[in-house]
Amino acid sequence: MRHAVILAGGSGTRLWPASRRERPKQLLPLAIDDEPMIATAVALGRAVADQVLIVTAESLADATKAAVPDVEVISEPVGRNTAAAIGLAGALIAERDPQATIAVLPADHHVRDREGMAAAIKTCLDSAEKSDVIALVGIPPTRAETGYGYLKMGPGLAEGARPVLRFVEKPNRAKAENYLASGCFLWNAGIFCLTAKRLLEELRMHLPKTAMILRMVVQGNPRELYEQLESISFDHGVMERTSNVVAVPAAVGWSDVGSWAALPEVRGIEKGNTTAGTTCVVDGTGNVVMSDDETLIAMIGVSDLVVVKAGDAILVVRKDQAQRVKELVEAIGAQRLDRYL
């Protein structure tokens, strides 16, 4: 059977004040359809797989179950990065269904063309089953983005699964421009498929301690063991160390919604601005203006600004500095204003 594993342990702060400790990004309705992002991820999982399993943090389990009530949710006792989360899900699935194939999906990304993404994931699942590879979805870059990891491919970016030559960390501006111009690079969307067997084999080979501990965890041993797991991403711990990785290009309008600056991709632009809720923008463009209730946000003569009212907090930041929200959140914590986080 095909299984979708949705990674929903994120506690991202870059979308504060909408995103809070108790209600991180994947539980927010950021897109026009007003559906929590995790519900959209579950729908994608159901479109490509027979079973859907969500991995989240214990502190988010209840809110996650409330957001998608009819999906199985397992929770990590402590966060140990994606290698542990994916390994836990894979070990559980392998116990139940040794012939399983797994599609790993983030809970908090946005895809404009959902059918196109589902088709690409199915191509990945086919590859994983046929050739026992790890098959990633790769996004043909549309700009010199410095916030994403890249996949170096052979020239041409033909359709279907092709070998990944190298994983590339978030590049600087000059490198990103080269990658875009070369036509040999894809964005790493963090979506990939592999068989449960291959997953466990990769862990045994590249993260043997992780593999051993996870085996004990799923066999019912104390979950305190989980704390001993190495905190490492699946990309670093496995992907970059193994061979036999392929990628399927999919020009589907994907975004990781990594900051408020990504909201125009997610919600579109109307009359020059991206707005939600009650707003009035006079003589200004390129703004992201969001109010989560009847509070009016009114602006005049201001451009390229992010203004977000969510709950009991208001954020103001330049759109080109939207990644600094993380720094702001730290300052708020340091000023003993934790109750706003």
Q: Which residues bind its own copies (CB under 8 A)?
A: 17, 278, 280, 282, 291, 294-302, 305, 307, 309, 312-318, 321, 324-325, 327-328, 331-332, 335, 337, 340
Bridge partners, 151 (sequence order): 167, 186
Minimal distance, residue 324 CB to its own copies, in Å? 5
Residue 244 vs 321, nearer CB to its own copies: 321
Residue 17 or 141 having the CB closest to its own copies: 17
Pick 161 or 317: Cβ nearer its own copies: 317
What DSSP designation does 17 have? T
Q: Whose Cβ is closer to its own copies: residue 34's or residue 312's? A: 312
Measured distance CA(288)–CA(283) in Å, rounded? 14
Residue type, 42: V
Could you tell me the smallest distance in angstroms from the CB atom of residue 20 to its own copies? 12
Least distance in Å: CB of 282 to its own copies?
5
**Distances 214 to 11, 177, 239, 259, 341 between C-alpha atoms, Å:** 23, 41, 19, 33, 32
Residue 272: CB minimum distance to its own copies, A: 15
The CA distance from 148 to 187, in Å, is 6
Q: How many residues does the chain have?
A: 341
State the minimum distance, in angstroms, from the CB of residue 77 to its own copies: 32
> Could you check whether the bond before residue 17 is cis, i.e. omega within 30 degrees of 0?
yes
Unique residue bearing structure tokens 């959209």:
40
The whole-angstrom separation of Cα 272 and Cα 303 is 10
Show Cβ contacts of residue 315 under 8 Å, excluding neighbours closer than 6 positions: 16, 17, 260, 306, 307, 308, 325, 328
Look at strands 245-249 and 134-139 and give their pairing: parallel
Q: What is the DSSP string of 223-264?
A: GGGGGGS----HIIIIITT-S-EEEEE--S-EE---SGGGHH
Rg (CA), the chain: 20
- Considering the complex, state which of residue 102 and residue 290 has its C-beta at the smaller distance from its own copies: 290
CB of 341 to its own copies, least distance (A): 10
Q: Which residues of 215-240 are buried (b: 16+ CB within 10 A; e: fewer)?
A: bebbeeeeeeebeebeebbbbbbbbb
Residue 81 backbone class (left: φ over 0; alpha: ψ -120 to 50; beta: rest) = left
Closest approach of its own copies to the CB of residue 207, in Å: 37
Judged by beta carbon, residue 13 or residue 26, the one nearer its own copies is 13
Min dist CB 255 to its own copies, Å, is 22
Beta strands in 13-50 (DSSP E): none
In eight-state DSSP terms, residue 112 is S
Minimum Å gap between C-beta 264 and its own copies is 18
| Residue with Cβ nearer its own copies (143 or 271) | 271
**Which CB atom, from 166 or from 326, has the smaller least distance to its own copies?**
326
Cβ distance to its own copies smaller for residue 88 or 315: 315
